[in-house]
Amino acid sequence: MSLPRMQPSDGVAWITGASSGIGEAVALELARRGWTVAITARRLDLLENVARRAEGLPGRIVAHAGDVTDSAAMKEVVDGIESVQGPIALAFLNAGIAPASRGLLDMEAFERIIAVNLVGAARALSAVMDPMALRGRGQIALNASVAGYGGLPGASAYGVSKAAAIHLCESLKFTADQRGIRLQLVNPGWVTTPLTDAKDVPMPFAITPEQAALRIVDGLEKSGFEISFPRRLSWAMKALNLLPYPVYFWLVSRGARWSGARSL
């Protein structure tokens, strides 16, 4: 099925987790390409700082604060954007956290990560898919990670949340296609953001948020279901997960010892 790719003339773009990092960079890149971009995160002051950075660009950025862990708030944000700015044609669901974990399985960190990275993503998806389905058109990209391809040392919570987000996006694609919604999955490697600043681990092939934004927005305009980068990392990770478990565990353990990795 050939689904349309949304253009600025179709409506506005909506980005969650847009107060910094990848979300902020994608918002600015979309504004450079003429979009009106509604951005969401919990802190209105940070969102307004991002909006000011778009002054003078072909498009504009407007702040709509909200918390992805609150279903009612997500619906209110979507309703508010559509009543004031117009229909949401394009959504990039990017909100995510990666707090440090303590011990073998830190349940406090685990539950926080799942609440934001998985359940929060599902809440935002539900809120924006319903009006798109009524219109019979729209485009949504969900930000996951190459860490969701397979189990990695120190990533028991973050990796689980991203693996489940990948599965969620894959499963929903069938219904989204039938409703005229183009659903895409974004799987980045290491991107130097406030999320990674506190990580004391090697970050092979790391890129800046601005570089990531270019690849994501280009992918929204041209790519198929998955937008993954850098390819030399994502392809290696995919190939690794095709190996038998004994080989997979041996290679990953050896790589972790060589790099000194402790936590993602």
Residues with catalytic roles: 158
Which residue, among 10, 157, 22, 150, has the nearest Cα to 92 in the 3D structure? 22
| Beta strands per DSSP E along the chain | 12-16, 36-40, 60-63, 88-93, 138-143, 181-188, 226-229
Longest dimension (CA), the chain: 56
Sign of CA dihedral 129, 134, 89, 71: negative
Sign of CA dihedral 84, 75, 133, 22: positive
Rounded-to-integer distance, Cα 264 and Cα 20, Å: 19
Q: Find residue 187's DSSP bridge partners.
A: 228
Contact 195, 209 (CB under 8 A): no
256: CB partners within 8 A, 6+ apart: 152, 153
